[in-house]
Structure 1
Amino acid sequence: MTPTSQPRTHRHFRTLFISDVHLGSKAAQAEQLLAFLAVHDAEKIYLVGDIVDGWRLKRAWHWPQSHNDVVQAFLRKARKGTQIVYIPGNHDEFLRGFPGQHFGGIEVRLTDVHETADGRKLLVMHGDEFDVVVRNARLIAYLGDWAYDAAIAINLVFNRFRRRFGFGYWSFSSWAKLKVKNAVSFIGAFETLLAAEADRMGCEGVVCGHIHHPQIAERSGILYVNSGDWVESCSAIAERNDGTLELLTWTGTQMPVPQIVEKPVLEDARALEPARAA
């Protein structure tokens, strides 16, 4: 879908789901998230893991003002009455030791069940629990994390040359990640496992993050929703007041582009791939 120029008007949703911001990483697009939060509010916001990147902060401290501003933006929303639930992921797993605790009005939960306005129950979890690499081979996961950092660095250099010759943005890291993970059917297995867990928990769907691949799809009759990330996709999931879910991609210069509104759930997952902003 091609973005269309629109004025920035304030939007209010019943619920917003945001994940994989990776504050503390040089790849985090904090300024884009700040712009998004400035024109979006919700009665409830789920932070679906990897908001803070503890892995990278352990290696080297990186915390510019924009990253602190993102934290303050969420705290301001909490003070103004937004219910904010923080579900830690593997990169911010240090918060998993504080279930039920509140930090500035933000509540930490390990998982949650969200009920939509139209009565559906959605299991909300980061998803790393069902990533066999993270769960069973932590060293491999750390090596993969370093490789992802290198791919992001390659992106920066590569896209400078593309812009010089009049070409738009192209994500080497996203391409490489999908090529490798498709080769081992990682994404499909991940989606299937999370859908099965939602079904086991008596839920009609699951909302997760972790793999940086935004999507709304159906898996074996279960709604699978991934909120994407704020490293490359700059995406979020929004629940409207009638319970429909919308996948948004923030372009940085325009209003977020609705990629798909589910209801009814579409069967062809290929039609749900989010468009990348040039």
Structure 2
Amino acid sequence: MVQAIRSARGYLSRAVQLTQRLGRSPESGWGSDPSSVAALTAFMPPGMDAATLAPPREQQDAYPPEPHAIHRYRAIWLSDIHLGTPGCQATYLLDFLKHNESDQLYLVGDIIDGWQLRRGWYWPQSHNDVVQKLLRKARKGTEVIYVPGNHDEGARQFDGMAFGDITVREEAIHVTATGRRLWVVHGDLFDGVVQHARWLAYLGDSLYTMILAMNRHFNRLRARLGFPYWSLSQYLKHQVKNAVNYISAFETAMVDEARRRGCDGVVCGHIHKAEIRELNGQLYCNDGDWVESLSALVETMEGELKIVYWTTLLDPPAPATRRRRRAAVTS
């Protein structure tokens, strides 16, 4: 345990050094400077270098298909978008929503981060665009079901109501094309910290926000060096043994409850770790998040469940151009 904490502390220390380097202006040229590559390599764990920092193979296999293709699914599950926070990857999510359609769309909690918005208002245009895109999908015939989480728990009081063709449910049951019954719930009700030590959950959320800030700077550097998105924050989190044990206990609690409810498995979010696996005879599915993993759970028309990682933009936003003021012509 002590060794794990020391290891995580070492990684965080190097992350701070890296973010200090990122504070230099783009005009200084650090993006193309070989020393930037060296700094990136020095930050990596033993046995890795900047050239090999690609996402895991399962993420590579799940990269988006050829540009401008529209994929159609029976169902899509999204959670932990955290609109209202700087860590939200709204640009990637908009790109995903543009290129993927479904008969059903489940929003599995923490869509809007009420915790952060109470501390300070942050709502750029891209976050508003995400809300408008979701409402547009609902108007065009997609069945959108919103299952609130702990960060947007205020919406739970509207269970059973519909807003803009989006239906709010505390939990839902999804039946796949193969007949499997899946219990859909955010998962925070099975998190002992959230339920019994709310102050500790708020403290952890504040520290997590700091790590996500480093993650944004880290990936800005990776983009300048031509590398795809890679979650620094997720890597750091999974180096701590207690975090790994917590995730394992959470997964077990979720599938046990799904079995008790007469379901064949569970679809949840909350812990920001996308995964599909059989556990104790039950199907455990976590759709990940849109601050670290950039992932969604999808069901194909044949009933196959897959994790899709959207770490490459098919339609990158156009670079901002400065408008030159035209000199007034006087006669």
1:143-200 deviation line (CA, Å, top 9, x unaligned): 0000111101222344455667777655332122222364561010000000000000
Tell me which amino acid in the other structure corresponds to 1:45: L
Cα displacement (A) at 1:121: 0.3
Alignment of 1:158-173 (within 5 A): 158-159=218-219, 170-173=230-233
Counterpart contact for 1:48–1:89, Cα < 8 Å: yes
State the match for 1:120 in structure 2. 180
2:118 matches 1:58: yes
- Whole-angstrom CA distance in 2 between matches of 1:54 and 1:218: 33
State the match for 1:243 in structure 2. 303
2:97 matches 1:37: yes
- Distance change >3 Å, CA 220–CA 232, structure 1 → 2: same
Counterpart contact for 1:48–1:87, Cα < 8 Å: yes
- Whole-angstrom CA distance in 1 between matches of 2:174 and 2:216: 38
2:210 matches 1:210: no
Structure having the higher Rg? 2
- Whole-angstrom CA distance in 1 between matches of 2:243 and 2:149: 25
Alignment partner for residue 248 of structure 2, among 188, 203, 221? 188
State the match for 1:132 in structure 2. 192
The total of aligned residue pairs comes to 255
- Whole-angstrom CA distance in 1 between matches of 2:80 and 2:220: 25
Greater fraction helix: 2
Tell me which amino acid in the other structure corresponds to 1:229: D
State the match for 1:106 in structure 2. 166
- Whole-angstrom CA distance in 2 between matches of 1:160 and 1:102: 39
- Whole-angstrom CA distance in 1 between matches of 2:283 and 2:135: 30
State the match for 1:267 in structure 2. none
1:177-231 deviation line (CA, Å, top 9, x unaligned): 2223645610100000000000000000100000000000111010000000011
State the match for 2:131 in structure 1. 71
- Distance change >3 Å, CA 87–CA 34, structure 1 → 2: same
TM-score by length of 1: 0.86
The two structures, once aligned, show a CA RMSD in angstroms of 1.9
Cα displacement (A) at 1:93: 0.3
Query: Where do 5+ consecutive residues of structure 1 fail to align?
Result: 256-278
1:59-100 deviation line (CA, Å, top 9, x unaligned): 000011110110110111111111110000000001011100
Cα displacement (A) at 1:246: 1.1
State the match for 1:259 in structure 2. none
Query: Where do 5+ consecutive residues of structure 2 fail to align?
Result: 1-56, 316-331
TM-score by length of 2: 0.73
- Whole-angstrom CA distance in 2 between matches of 1:107 and 1:181: 39
State the match for 2:283 in structure 1. 223
Secondary structure at the counterpart of residue 238 of structure 1: strand
Tell me which amino acid in the other structure corresponds to 1:82: T
Tell me which amino acid in the other structure corresponds to 2:271: I
Cα displacement (A) at 1:241: 1.3
- Whole-angstrom CA distance in 2 between matches of 1:121 and 1:216: 15
- Whole-angstrom CA distance in 1 between matches of 2:244 and 2:298: 31
